[in-house]
Structure formats: C-alpha cells, structure tokens
Chain A
Amino acid sequence: DTEVTQTPKHLVMGMTNKKSLKCEQHMGHRAMYWYKQKAKKPPELMFVYSYEKLSINESVPSRFSPECPNSSLLNLHLHALQPEDSALYLCASSQGTSGSLYEQYFGPGTRLTVT
C-alpha cells in the first residue's frame, strides 16, 4: 500500500477562520512533507518532519503551523490566511530523509480557497 490520504479534499475559509488540513500514511514512513502548489506551477516545499520532529521550515509565514502528532499523521493548522494562500496543499511521505534515496509519495491534495 503506497497511499497517502488527505482531508478535506476541498476547503473554503475566510481570512479570520482557523482550520486544519490532515494527512495520513500507513507505510511506516518516518518522513512527512507539506508542499504548496499554485496553478500551473511545480510544488513548493513548506515543511519537512523527520521522526516526528520538524527538520525543515522553508521560511513559511507563521499563519501556517505544522504538527506531527505521531509517525502516521501530519497536520497543517491554518489561521488568518490571505487570499494569495489559496492553492493546492500536498502532503507527501518517504521512508527517511537523508543518507540515501527515499522516494516521496504524494497524497491527492487539499484544494484551499481563502475568501
């Protein structure tokens, strides 16, 4: 099973709302990632968790707050977003993060619209 699941599939939120995106994998992977993808662009890395610890934060604004409750789950908490934050948010996972090649497996994404 090489599946990464994400919920919700679509989300519409106002600029004062607080919402969360969820990601889950049951492949025993120890690294999980959040990417942001704008239309007709490649994914941009936001955060990397390795063994449930944040290892990379690509200078993402604090209105995005990641959380890794356990090795299978990854959340992205959203607060006071701007319309320009509207995008497809992709979660990915891999066996590990360094020392050798670890393929990343992507979820289907959450389509976020900020109004």
Chain B
Amino acid sequence: GDSVTQMEGPVTLSEEAFLTINCTYTATGYPSLFWYVQYPGEGLQLLLKATKADDKGSNKGFEATYRKETTSFHLEKGSVQVSDSAVYFCARYLTGGGNKLTFGTGTQLKVEL
C-alpha cells in the first residue's frame, strides 16, 4: 500500500549545524510530495512541496528534491536555528486518490545553542 517512511527522531543538533531528515515513499503512480512542520502546541504548516521528478521545493532555507530513482524526498537545511525546533512530517499525495495525504511518522528536531 501507499506509505511514507521517515527517519526516527529525535534529531538533536547544535545551532548552525547542517540538517538532513530522510524521507522515502512507495512509488505507485506519480505522487506529489510535501514537508509539513508542526511547532509545539500548533497545527501543521506547509513547509515546501514538489510535484514531479527532479523538482526542488524550498522555503525558509529548507530544501527537498524529488528523486524518482531513489523514491526519496529528503529535507535539508544548511544552518539550523533554535527556532527550527519542531516536528517535521513528510507526506505524499496521489492525484485521483480523493486528496488523501499519507503522512510519515514525523521526525522531532531539537536545536540547541
């Protein structure tokens, strides 16, 4: 079935460190891919998206590239800040599937000074 797999957390980094959060998906059809972020006590915010192979989504210094050959959509940021501490969810959406998002399990990021 459709699934999204994320790396286990929590991920703890020092401020200004490089961030990678891995995400892979099952490849039935041609899904669109998203990263959502959830700050403590809040709802989900769309961070970035990519709709086809080799697309790069970017926002607020975060980037992710849709890699069809490896069925991956890894999230990266060159220099994290304490304010980036949150839970990050990778999600896939398949056109014609009733607009149902399939979420990964989420990865908690903690950034320390």
Among B42, B51, B96, B99, the residue within 8 A (CB) of A104 is: B99
Q: Given A42-B103, A45-B101, A103-B49, answer yes or no on A109-B96 (Cβ-Cβ < 8 Å).
A: no
Min CB distance B91 to A, Å, is: 8
Interface contacts (Cβ under 8 Å), in number, total: 59
Give the size of the chain B interface in residues (CB under 8 angstroms).
24
Mostly, the A contact residues are loop
**Residue A56 CB within 8 A of the other chain:** yes
Query: Which B residues from 18 to 46 make CB contacts under 8 A with A?
Result: 32, 34, 36, 42-46
Among residues of B, the one whose C-beta sits closest to the C-beta of A101 is B32
Among the stretches A63-71, A72-80, A91-99, the one at the interface with B is: A91-99
The answer to whether B99 and A94 touch across the interface, beta carbons within 8 angstroms, is yes
How many angstroms from the CA of A41 to the CA of B106 in the assembled complex?
A: 7
Query: Could you mark each residue 76-106 of chain B with 1 if its beta carbon is under 8 Å from any beta carbon of chain A, else 0?
Result: 0000000000000100010111111101111
Q: List 27 A-B contacts (CB under 8 A).
A: A31-B99, A41-B106, A42-B89, A42-B104, A45-B100, A48-B98, A48-B99, A55-B98, A56-B100, A92-B44, A97-B99, A98-B96, A98-B97, A98-B99, A99-B95, A99-B96, A100-B95, A101-B51, A101-B93, A101-B95, A103-B34, A103-B49, A104-B101, A105-B46, A106-B43, A108-B42, A109-B43
Chain A residues engaging chain B, CB cutoff 8 angstroms: 4, 6, 31, 40-43, 45, 48, 55-56, 90, 92, 94, 96-109
